[in-house]
Structure 1
Amino acid sequence: MVPAHGPAGRPAPSPAGPDAGDPAAPARAALAAARAGRSAELDAWLAGLLAPDGTPPAGVALVAVGSHGRRELTPGGDLDLVLVHDGRRDDVAALADRLWYPIWDAGPRLDHSVRTVAEARAVARADLKAALGLLSARRVAGDRALADELRAAVLADWRADARARLADLAVLCRERWTAQGDLAFLLEPDLKEAHGGLRDVDVMRAVAASWVASAPGERVRAAHGLLLDVRHALHAQTGRSADRLVLQEQQAVAEALGLGDADRLLRATAEAARVVVHAGDHLWHRVDRFLAPRRPGGGQRAADRRPVGDGAVEQDGEVVLARSADLGDPSLVLRVAAAAAHAGLPLAPATVDRLAAHAALPEAPWPAAARDALVALLGAGPAAIGVWEDLDQAGIIVRLLPDWADVRNRPQRNPFHRFTVDRHLVEAAAGAAAHTRDVARPDLLLVGALLHDIGKGAPGDHSVTGAARTRGIAARLGFDPGDVDVLTAAVRHHLLLPDTATRRDLDDPATIETVLTALGDAPGRERELLDLLAALAVADARATGPSAWGSWKAGQVAELTRRAAAALAGGPLPPPPAPAPDHLALARHDGAAVRVAGSRVTIAAPDRPGLLWRAAGVLALHRLAVRSARITAAPRGSGGTAVLDFTAVPEFGSPPDPAALEADLRRLLADRLDVAGRLERRAAAVRVRPGAPVAPPRVTVVEDASAVAAVIEVRAPDRPGLLWRVGQAIGAFGLQVRAARVDTLGAEAVDVFYVVDADGRPPADPGVLSDVRQKVLAALR
């Protein structure tokens, strides 16, 4: 959708309110008209039920609350009605039956009650949710004075009890946000209950009714309208009242709204949700100030002003412009933002509006002061995120960084990622602030983290397109050519260390050579680039999601970085680790033995073809997810016993009993354990969510990845015993898995297998590898 423009020609991010230039405008206008028409029809029908002869009974009023009270009832919405009476009629029960039974017969879900004004008032004072509903009470039929009395009484009580009610409301909201998550960042959000959803706008109206804060502004109302239209289209498409926008419904809802595709729908809902959350943050800031303990003696005092940076002062818990601030200074916006972030305070909304409308912004190439202010803002760490959002909501970020528009609110259709692309970048930069002392150039780390996924959304490999964009952005920011090269290389290779560490054999010289070749993209500054990539790997993974970084991956990346640094220094590569004494002792064990130490599982067993993947099958039976696997050559004098090293973690719960593992391993070696059958039964018992998109498996023979083995990469939905199935397919050709690297990204397994022939060498015939690839694909299907 084409963005509107605010003051001074700035692009003002919009939650897609319908206008003449909006392709969704006709569809959305039709939905709004449908809601208004349905509300009018319902009102007329309900009035007829209350007064069949056209004369409403005295002392009775029918009041709608909730979405019907606000004239926002969507096709799947509930009717919420209160029959209010003055307490003097003895036929109220009969009147209620005359209303409720026809409604039930007609099919709408009904929440109903019969109250006097005093009773409704008492319920509202005792029940916060009931009070919120009654704040939107609207007379549908009957005694207008009685309905007005009810509304006035509920409002009066709400305002009188504002301190207690708003404190309770804050707790209720935070509990809901924790349970439902952020609408803007969910792949299947609840449009009503998630943070930033329709419920939060209702809460804003309730806070405004207490006179503690202003009513929702134009942008929030437009955002609310967009979310309401999405909910309406969802109900109409599904015929159900569910408010969760599940994946399989998104395309149909997008088409019904005139948005074209599901990604545009998610971007529009994300933008609307972020408008609501941003406004809500400022509203709750005002509520917190209202709820703060009052000063002794009461009364008002002139607001204290405390300098927090050049051009910025704190006033009433927010950062505002100093009286001497120069709006013509192109570094002012970022300098004030950095001051707010380092002080841990929000920018005052009026200050942001003033900066957006009147402050100068740096022109390319940026002056050093503006670039330093950007780095200072990012260097504030997590405190920078809220301040960045202030600038973003005002349209300032896309003016500073035009490429930002392409990633703004862009969904990442991968449950592994918990944020949209733009928020992920800001989170990564904030996380990188914790590692600035680990690198020679903190500024390059912070800016590199901010830009590392800037290529997402463009065709092709996002690392390649992102590097091209970064070269232009870095030049506009005023970095010198050498720094531009380093930033470009950092974005191009930001996945190099984690991907290589988890998917390649670190003992293979070709692995280190791959890293050194990539570092050559920053000639003369290879070690500096290596340290940047190591820090960026941590920040990127932690900003991705809780399962993207763990002790095993951290150890692998650290070890790869250490080996690459040693190679850069001209020293010899560290030799492969020799078997530890306890492993040698284990190898002398008669038959088979198992040792479990944390995530390390060591198995000694008589050497035989396929031992590695067969043992992995046993681990899978004991609900251990393999992260890496390697077979060590049988030590001399061990009587043909091989030592297998696995990194494996429990799928859930506690690690298995080593004695039980050893017993099953002995059964396997004696051909008395049906691993395949038991794994198939486990896989059959796993529920697959209907309609969830599952990409087909992909198997690739990676050329030149190793000089000592053929490397086969497998990408497939994760399932128990995957290493067993792949190894079984490879073993059918007389080949063996010498080592395996396993990584799980959400529900996706990315596994790499080092394959050798019976003589321990790479297969000589390329045709064999092609056949192996087809066999593995068949096994995965």
Structure 2
Amino acid sequence: MSGAAALDAAWPVPDEAPDAAWIAAARAWLASTAARDAATFDAGGPGVDVRPLLARRASAVDDVVRSAWARTLGQGGDGGEVPALFAVGGYGRGELYPQSDVDLLVLLDEAAQPDAAPEIARFVTLLWDAGLPVGHAVRSTAQCRGSAAGNITVLTAMLEARALAAVPSASERLLDAIDESEVWPPAAFFAAKRQELRERHARFGDTADNLEPNLKEGPGGLRDLQTLRWMALRVLHTGDLDSLTTLGQLGNDEHATLQRQQDVLARLRYGLHLVAARREERLRFDHQKALAARLGYVDTPGALAVEQMMQAFYRSAGLVQRVGERLLQRFEEQLEGEATPEPLDGDFCLRRGYLAAVSSDWPRDASDVFALFAAWAAYPEGDAQGAIRGLHSHTARALAEFLERMPAYGNATTEARAAFMALLRGRQPVQTLTRMARLGILGRWIPAFANVSGRMQFDLFHVYTVDQHTLAVLANIAAFARGGDERFSLAQDVWPRLRKPELLLLAALFHDIAKGRGGDHSQLGAVDARAFGQAMALPVGDVATVEWLVAQHLLMSMTAQKQDIADPEVIHAFAQKVGDRERLELLYLLTCADIAGTSPKLWNAWKDRLLADLYTSTRLALRRGLEHPLEADERAGETRATAARLLCEAGVDDAAIDATLARMPAIGFQRGRPDQIAWQAQALMGLGDRDTCVAVRALADARALEVFVHSPDRDGLFAAIVITLDRLGLTIAQARVLDGPAARVFDSFQVVPADARHPPAPQDVTQRLEAVLAGPLDALRPARRTQPRHLRHFRIAPQVGFDRLDSPPRTMLSLVCTDRPGLLADVALVLREQGLRVHDARVATFGERAEDVFQITRVDADGTDRPLDEPHQEALRTALLACFEGDCP
């Protein structure tokens, strides 16, 4: 090895040294070279070139491997009985990361393998004892051919075989064994590797924008680059980027792009191996901050160091995918030949199903670019008859080369702006925006979008980068338009009422576009949205609507999750902020799409019901007129009358209806829904001689449950219910504790399964609660759980707040802390241990952040409920803070 990969010192171990001395010396040699390379890496900062380090590591390992081979099996040679040694896989390529496996192939005739087995075992043992993670295979030429024919992964490893101890004839035999005339001809190899790539991408959700991406196997990772190299080796008999450029398969710009992004990915993987101190390919939260610091990133007011590092990865992975798709097409054309163009209307044609520009000087301006996307939107995409398979590689390259000349909307012509708005109003607008984003056009047209491309937020609430989240929100809006998405109960009914759907698309596009600038991203994004709308010459009212939606895109979610939407005053205040039905419909759809596009786990049936209820109540308030707010007594009367009608329709006689509803707390009619009141009343009618009633029903196709408990009030009741639900694997989204006549409680809980794959059946919940409430409550304790790994990296300073409520006199307890399994059960236990009563609870979780609100009282000696005084507040604060740190009672 020479040049940058050359080692600073010669291999220090004499061949005649005893094995123990050789092992100790080899370990010291590898450790010293690794330490030297790590120091070089650390001194290089964010732009360190790791290619020489990969080669130096391979060179150091070569010395150890060759020395061990010389001690055990000789120098290799000609003839079938003399074994030959080859490096394969990444080691064969001459690239070794600090913790990579060392893959070896011993080429030896099958008849000679038994006699050589003891020395081969000694050879491998020496390497393992020296600290090298060795993987090896012993095969004859025929066995190499057979293994390669039966397993394309074996062939792939041997494609990059490098002789370590072998004469030229041995290398020739190996090449003959895997020759394309013998196994895996180019077309079959290409098809198999392309399918392998697709399946690998699918395992990662077809996106590199995961919070803990796999640097090697994930989409746009190093394995993608290696796959392109393997394909080139088989199809073109060269895997070198320079050679591919010479052959016309890569443009100079594409060559430079792939090399830059490979350097970024290699740097991250090298550093990850150092930080993890073991073979690790997934960039976990455990290592992200340490790796960012090791690479020299520093926090700035607009972005944490770890966010800057991750943005560099996401952008690199996206570019690798983009250029890789073009190269795959060119390999396909190399194998199948150029297809005859099929003319389409306008300036475009199809080449083997790929959309291509006809003119060699396309595109000339932004209008040409938008015409391409309009032509693309006119056809379905996929493998169906008449579908477009994608963008032709030559046209995609021309588009990429035009990016530097693509104007931002503020500098564009009137025709280009009109063409963009036509795309939003045309066919498949969401698909079009997604294509524009992935090809880099959207970031050039709207520069603020480029700023959030690949931008992660180091928390558990946002599981995608900002741009990918935006595309997910747009995809949800497309689902509203198609209808039939069972996740949303009302969205597909609201969608047809929109006057101008493009206003919703623009609001979705801009709602998070100001993330990372500092300040309120909603207000900053609203300014951007207004400027864009004005530049697009939208009517003044439409500009105002989009601006308002962006500024208020969190309003509906916060109102639904943090306030009591059964309170008429809350509904009236929300309706006043919304103002009219059109804005309500747009905001409702945007809110649903935003929550569901933030994390696959964030949207659930309870949030669907909550937003649907808020939408319905607000729509009624707007229809009634904001000058006629609904009074609490009026709301209670309407709810009671509707519940009575539902019971009557169910066959219950009037006397039973009146008697049962009279037993229920009056405030329940103000807070509850008519169907909920009717269901609870029917449960009470079946109570008989029992004093405790538990009823459970499924909501929204069993994706959520409602639990109703009627029981004599006693200390610890709330904690017992919460602990039991937690042990059943149910997460409480909302709890309402109402005091009824005769010192009885009417408690209701909205719950969702912590594991949606294994929800408990309603009857199981009923039986478990009934059994628990039939016995003593004091001994019931929450389940002890290990904190999930990822939560250890997202610690939130706990906050405990108290506010006095006057009607009725209570204390409002507000908690903000790091969420974890069983948190609510532990809080309920603290409240029980403090002798406090819970009258209402609202639970909200945002990624790793829990925000819970309780209405509580202490009990005087005479049994009267009273707000907490300062000593009781401080005692509760101390107990809760201790609980948050793991010291629960």
Taking structure 2 as the reference length, the TM-score comes to 0.73
8 Å CA contact retained: 2:572, 2:629: no
User: CA separation in 2, counterparts of 1:237 and 1:771?
Assistant: 43
User: CA separation in 2, counterparts of 1:710 and 1:272?
Assistant: 52
Q: Which residue of 2 aligns with 1:12?
A: none
- Structure 1 stretch 725-734 or stretch 492-501: which is displaced more? 725-734
Per-residue deviation, residues 609-649 of structure 1 (Å, max 9, x unmatched): 775455333433433321212234526xxx44332221123
Change in CA separation of 1:27 and 1:371 when aligned onto 2, cut-off 3 Å: closer
8 Å CA contact retained: 2:107, 2:140: yes
Does residue 463 of structure 1 match 2:483?
A: no
Which of the numbers 538, 543, 546 marks the counterpart of 1:484?
Answer: 543
8 Å CA contact retained: 1:629, 1:646: yes
8 Å CA contact retained: 2:62, 2:164: yes
8 Å CA contact retained: 2:785, 2:822: no
8 Å CA contact retained: 2:731, 2:752: yes
Q: Which residue of 2 aligns with 1:596?
A: 696
Q: Which residue of 2 aligns with 1:317?
A: 353
Q: Which residue of 1 aligns with 2:321?
A: 277
Per-residue deviation, residues 170-227 of structure 1 (Å, max 9, x unmatched): 4443443344556732222222222222222222222223328957844233322222
User: CA separation in 1, counterparts of 2:419 and 2:810?
Assistant: 51
Does residue 696 of structure 1 match 2:797?
A: yes
Q: Which residue of 2 aligns with 1:16?
A: none
Which of the numbers 269, 283, 291 marks the counterpart of 1:245?
Answer: 283
Which of the numbers 746, 770, 773 marks the counterpart of 1:665?
Answer: 773
Q: Which residue of 2 aligns with 1:176?
A: 200
User: CA separation in 2, counterparts of 1:440 and 1:304?
Assistant: 38
Q: Which residue of 1 aligns with 2:265?
A: 227
Residues 695-734 of structure 1: pairs in structure 2 closer than 5 A: 695-700=796-801, 711-719=812-820, 722-727=823-828
Per-residue deviation, residues 238-261 of structure 1 (Å, max 9, x unmatched): 331222222232233223333443
Structure 2: runs of 5 or more not aligned? 1-40, 237-243, 299-304, 382-387, 481-494, 637-669, 699-704
User: CA separation in 2, counterparts of 1:123 and 1:581?
Assistant: 69
Does residue 583 of structure 1 match 2:607?
A: no
Letter in 1 for 2:265: L
Letter in 2 for 1:516: A
Structure 1: runs of 5 or more not aligned? 1-21, 521-525
8 Å CA contact retained: 1:508, 1:706: no
Does residue 33 of structure 1 match 2:52?
A: yes
Q: Which residue of 2 aligns with 1:674?
A: 779
Q: State the Cα distance separating 1:548 from its structure 2 match.
A: 1.7
Tell which structure's C-alpha radius of gyration is larger.
Answer: 2
User: SS of the counterpart of 1:715?
Assistant: strand
Letter in 1 for 2:355: V
Which of the numbers 414, 423, 437 marks the counterpart of 2:468?
Answer: 423
Per-residue deviation, residues 33-91 of structure 1 (Å, max 9, x unmatched): 22222333434554555568997633464321111111211111111122335789898
User: CA separation in 2, counterparts of 1:501 and 1:98?
Assistant: 69
Letter in 1 for 2:278: R
Q: State the Cα distance separating 1:757 from its structure 2 match.
A: 8.1
Change in CA separation of 1:159 and 1:477 when aligned onto 2, cut-off 3 Å: farther
Which of the numbers 69, 77, 89 marks the counterpart of 1:57?
Answer: 77
8 Å CA contact retained: 2:78, 2:169: no
Letter in 2 for 1:452: H
Q: State the Cα distance separating 1:231 from its structure 2 match.
A: 1.5
Does residue 375 of structure 1 match 2:424?
A: yes
Per-residue deviation, residues 378-418 of structure 1 (Å, max 9, x unmatched): 9433575345312x2xxx33321111232111113233433
Q: Which residue of 2 aligns with 1:263?
A: 307
Letter in 1 for 2:78: A
Does residue 518 of structure 1 match 2:577?
A: yes
Change in CA separation of 1:410 and 1:581 when aligned onto 2, cut-off 3 Å: closer
8 Å CA contact retained: 1:48, 1:54: no
Which of the numbers 216, 238, 244 marks the counterpart of 1:192?
Answer: 216
Q: State the Cα distance separating 1:528 from its structure 2 match.
A: 2.0
Change in CA separation of 1:378 and 1:414 when aligned onto 2, cut-off 3 Å: farther
User: CA separation in 2, counterparts of 1:432 and 1:674?
Assistant: 49
Q: Which residue of 2 aligns with 1:161?
A: 185
User: SS of the counterpart of 2:691?
Assistant: coil
Change in CA separation of 1:255 and 1:609 when aligned onto 2, cut-off 3 Å: closer
Q: Which residue of 1 aligns with 2:159?
A: 135
Which of the numbers 683, 689, 693 marks the counterpart of 2:784?
Answer: 683
Residues 5-404 of structure 1: pairs in structure 2 closer than 5 A: 28-29=47-48, 31-47=50-66, 57-59=77-79, 61-85=84-108, 96=120, 99-151=123-175, 153-157=177-181, 161-181=185-205, 184-211=208-235, 214=249, 217-260=255-298, 261-283=305-327, 302-307=340-345, 311-323=347-359, 327-343=363-379, 344=381, 345=388, 346-358=390-402, 361=407, 363-364=409-410, 367=414, 368-376=417-425, 379-382=428-431, 384-390=433-439, 392=440, 396-404=441-449
Change in CA separation of 1:192 and 1:581 when aligned onto 2, cut-off 3 Å: closer
Per-residue deviation, residues 426-449 of structure 1 (Å, max 9, x unmatched): 221232233453422211100111
- Structure 1 stretch 399-408 or stretch 181-190: which is displaced more? 181-190
Taking structure 1 as the reference length, the TM-score comes to 0.82
How many matched pairs?
733
Q: Which residue of 2 aligns with 1:648?
A: 751
Compare relative contact order (CA 8 Å, sep 6+) and give the higher one, 1 or 2: 1
8 Å CA contact retained: 2:804, 2:810: no
Does residue 623 of structure 1 match 2:724?
A: no
User: SS of the counterpart of 2:430?
Assistant: coil
RMSD over equivalenced CA pairs, Å: 4.0
8 Å CA contact retained: 2:212, 2:284: yes
Q: State the Cα distance separating 1:272 from its structure 2 match.
A: 2.0
- Structure 1 stretch 485-494 or stretch 370-379: which is displaced more? 370-379
Letter in 1 for 2:799: R
8 Å CA contact retained: 1:330, 1:362: no
8 Å CA contact retained: 1:444, 1:483: yes
Does residue 740 of structure 1 match 2:841?
A: yes
User: CA separation in 2, counterparts of 1:592 and 1:55?
Assistant: 85
Which of the numbers 608, 615, 618 marks the counterpart of 1:561?
Answer: 615
Q: State the Cα distance separating 1:597 from its structure 2 match.
A: 1.1
8 Å CA contact retained: 2:719, 2:828: yes
8 Å CA contact retained: 2:341, 2:350: no
Per-residue deviation, residues 288-319 of structure 1 (Å, max 9, x unmatched): 8899xx9xxxx976232233xx5444332222
- Structure 1 stretch 351-360 or stretch 493-502: which is displaced more? 351-360
User: CA separation in 1, counterparts of 2:278 and 2:858?
Assistant: 58
User: SS of the counterpart of 2:695?
Assistant: strand
Letter in 2 for 1:535: L
User: SS of the counterpart of 1:429?
Assistant: helix
Identity %: 29
User: CA separation in 2, counterparts of 1:733 and 1:56?
Assistant: 79
Residues 434-445 of structure 1: pairs in structure 2 closer than 5 A: 434-435=479-480, 437-445=496-504
Q: Which residue of 2 aligns with 1:11?
A: none
User: CA separation in 2, counterparts of 1:612 and 1:301?
Assistant: 72
User: SS of the counterpart of 1:62?
Assistant: strand
- Structure 1 stretch 156-165 or stretch 222-231: which is displaced more? 156-165
User: SS of the counterpart of 2:160?
Assistant: coil
Q: State the Cα distance separating 1:774 from its structure 2 match.
A: 5.9
Change in CA separation of 1:468 and 1:734 when aligned onto 2, cut-off 3 Å: farther
8 Å CA contact retained: 2:329, 2:392: no
8 Å CA contact retained: 1:327, 1:360: no
Letter in 2 for 1:245: L
- Structure 1 stretch 101-110 or stretch 176-185: which is displaced more? 176-185
